[in-house]
Amino acid sequence: MKKYFTILLILFQIVLYGCQSQNKNISAEVKENIKARVDNGINTGLVVGVITSDGVSYYSYGVKSLETKEPVDENSVFEIGSISKTFTGILLADMVVKGELNLDTPLQELLPEGVTSPIRNGESIKLYQMSNHTSSLPGMPDNFNPANLANPYADYSEEQMYAFLNSYELTRDIGSKYEYSNYAQGLLGHVLANKKQMTYEELMVKTIAKPLKLENTRIAFTPKMKENLAMGHSAGVEVENWDIPTLAGAGAIRSTTVDMLTYLAANMGLKKSDLYPAMHLSHKNSTSKGSSSMVGLGWHIRLRNKLEIAWHAGGTGGYRAFAGFIKGGDKGVVVLTNSDVAVDDIVFHLLDPTSALNKPQKPSFVTHLKKSIENEGIEVATRTYWELKKNRTDKYDFGENQLNGLGYSYLGKGELEKAIAVFKLNMEAFPNSFNVYDSYGDALMKNKENEKAIASYKKSVEINPGNTNGIAMLKKLGVDTESLVKEVTVEDAILESYVGNYKYQKFIMKVTKDGKQMKIQITGQNEIEIYPKSENVFYLKVVPALITFNKTEQVESLTLSQGGQEIIYKR
């Protein structure tokens, strides 16, 4: 891939602060790391912005599109995905500061006539619980069935959103547990906008974007934003932009690095704004005392080396974004990329240099495979794949997610034969991964091969009972899923033997036991509950992953299996 390299030294006067700044806050190590990610084909384009009281610094590398080769810069437009949730949290906080709502206002008060919010044990869902992911509403509704998996939220309607709420029965007490919920956040943004008799975008622009002069922060593209758009990519393949009309508050906003640094400046108090009281309120931990997760209104909070970092990540089909700042400190960081590869480590490293910076992966083989499929057909491409995997693992990344991304790219374009072939190839390459069977099921269901889809989804859930998508799809296909997820009981003494600390490089995974409930916590991350699939294999419900405890006479290590990769943590 041809290299496109842009360094932007900020030598002009900064309007926000009336001072000058050079690109001194982004180290040579970070720049080289970013260059390697782009040169290896992991990210298509990547832009970093750092803000302090001295001003701003930018660094960009890569291109907006592999076809046009136009370089990205700080004015390039990206989808910021779930960082939109922090905007939604601030909208709620602003109404609270103005006395229009309370944090504990029941959701029911904002719902239209005929729509009923579920209750449990006499308790109702409060607005702040929707913003901090403790509402007990699920991550996604079970009536979410996109016609186009490449733009999955586009056809989810207001009627579907309210129909799900009317029918949903809470499975646990409200406020008792953190569970990340796109549905709750999208619903929150919707009802807040309805209260003002506006769309979500109109409310966000009026309350946040216009006062802060965020000219390129919108949901609908302006002509200028469209001109500066960095096209999204998955596994090196250009993909569709996402449209999220109904659940907009969960992830519909597009923005630039320039605008996002201005947004952070206001949140940090570096830029004077009437919104600061609401922003400050949104940064305060709103979860219950003793909770394993710290969340404000939208913002997550991470404690590390005596630093308190407010942050949020975002991801859509072809983009990843991350924004964070040190609470009460003097640094904020934004990283935007037009690829579906996480950039969290860059932000945390720039905010706290003791936080590890991931080593760049090897180049993906998918570009070669796609060319072979297009030029030589599926059969020849499949042989090419196995030959490359046998002889060139030293040069290319053959991770499960690479094939998965290509498969969904074909699925989104309606090229079902190619999608099914790629997903089938992924199953053969990773026969122990639940996710490959789940993806294959999606393609078969799209192709109306329902019996085969059912078999594939069942296999997926058999491997990982925490696969909520597989369970939801089986229900749509009329399958009784109660017998698929069996409760497994493990002796207390065996559970106790797993408790301890396990290390991989600089990361520690702490395994604890609370009664019968096992939990894990990786350095700098929230505590997560795990559930037994067998005596020594546990699954997670919040992310698609498995934990296997390895022992001979005693437990010596554990294996984290996620996304086709296995990482061994030694005790």
* Distance from C-alpha of 307 to C-alpha of 561, rounded to nearest angstrom: 30
Is residue 31's pLDDT more than 60?
yes
Question: For residue 113, how many other CB atoms are within 10 A of its CB?
Answer: 4
Q: Please give the pLDDT value at position 339.
A: 94
Alpha helices in 377-528 (DSSP H): 378-391, 400-412, 416-429, 434-446, 450-463, 468-476, 492-498
Over residues 258-283, mean pLDDT: 97
Q: Please give the pLDDT value at position 367.
A: 77
Q: Please give the pLDDT value at position 564.
A: 65
Q: Which residue would you say has higher pLDDT here, 371 or 349? A: 349
Over residues 320-345, mean pLDDT: 94
* Distance from C-alpha of 97 to C-alpha of 207, rounded to nearest angstrom: 13
CATH fold of 81-351 reads: Beta-lactamase (3.40.710)
Query: At 537, which amino acid appears?
Result: V
Positive or negative, the CA dihedral 489, 493, 495, 498 is negative
Phi, psi (degrees; rounded to nearest 5) at 438: -65, -45
* Distance from C-alpha of 218 to C-alpha of 212, rounded to nearest angstrom: 13
Q: What is the pLDDT of residues 367-385, one digit of tens each?
A: 788 889 989 999 999 998 8
Q: Residue 368 in contact with residue 384, Cβ under 8 Å?
A: yes
Q: Please give the pLDDT value at position 519.
A: 93
Q: What is the pLDDT of residues 39-67, one digit of tens each?
A: 988 899 999 999 999 999 999 999 999 98
* Predicted confidence band of residue 69 (pLDDT cuts 50, 70, 90): very high
DSSP code at position 135: S
* Predicted confidence band of residue 14 (pLDDT cuts 50, 70, 90): very low
SS (H, E, C) 46-108: EEEEEEECCEEEEEEEEECCCCCCCECCCCCEEECHHHHHHHHHHHHHHHHHCCCCCCCCEHH
Over residues 331-356, mean pLDDT: 94
Q: Range with the lowest mean pLDDT among 171-180, 399-408, 432-441?
A: 399-408
Over residues 203-207, mean pLDDT: 98
For the chain, the structural domain boundaries read 81-351, 492-570
Helix (H) or strand (E) holding 540: strand 537-540
Give the pairing type, strands 507-514 and 78-79: unpaired
- The C-alpha angle with vertex 426 and arms to 425 and 431, in degrees rounded to 5, equals 110
- The pLDDT mean for the chain works out to 89
Q: Range with the lowest mean pLDDT among 155-169, 204-218, 342-356?
A: 342-356
Over residues 154-183, mean pLDDT: 95
DSSP code at position 357: P
Q: Please give the pLDDT value at position 412.
A: 79
CA 105 to chain centre: 28
Helix (H) or strand (E) holding 184: helix 182-195
* Predicted confidence band of residue 506 (pLDDT cuts 50, 70, 90): confident
Over residues 193-204, mean pLDDT: 98
Q: Please give the pLDDT value at position 563.
A: 66
Closest Cα to residue 75, out of 204, 271, 229, 221?
229
CATH fold of 492-570 reads: Lipocalin (2.40.128)
Q: Which residue has the tokens 């950039």?
A: 343
3-state helix, strand, coil in the chain (%, to 5): 35, 20, 45
Q: What is the pLDDT of residues 177-198, one digit of tens each?
A: 898 999 999 999 999 999 999 9
Q: Please give the pLDDT value at position 44.
A: 95
The tokens describing 227, both together, are 């001109």
Over residues 428-447, mean pLDDT: 92
* Predicted confidence band of residue 326 (pLDDT cuts 50, 70, 90): very high
Over residues 256-277, mean pLDDT: 97
* Predicted confidence band of residue 148 (pLDDT cuts 50, 70, 90): confident
Q: Which residue has the tokens 């037994």?
A: 532
Q: Which residue would you say has higher pLDDT here, 53 or 468? A: 53
Is residue 411's pLDDT more than 90?
no
Q: Residue 354 in contact with residue 345, Cβ under 8 Å?
A: no
Over residues 214-224, mean pLDDT: 98
Over residues 492-500, mean pLDDT: 94
Q: Residue 204 in contact with residue 91, Cβ under 8 Å?
A: yes
Contacts of 37 (CB under 8 A, 6+ apart): 43, 46, 341, 360, 361
Q: Please give the pLDDT value at position 549.
A: 96
Q: Please give the pLDDT value at position 304.
A: 80
State percent of the chain over pLDDT 70. 95
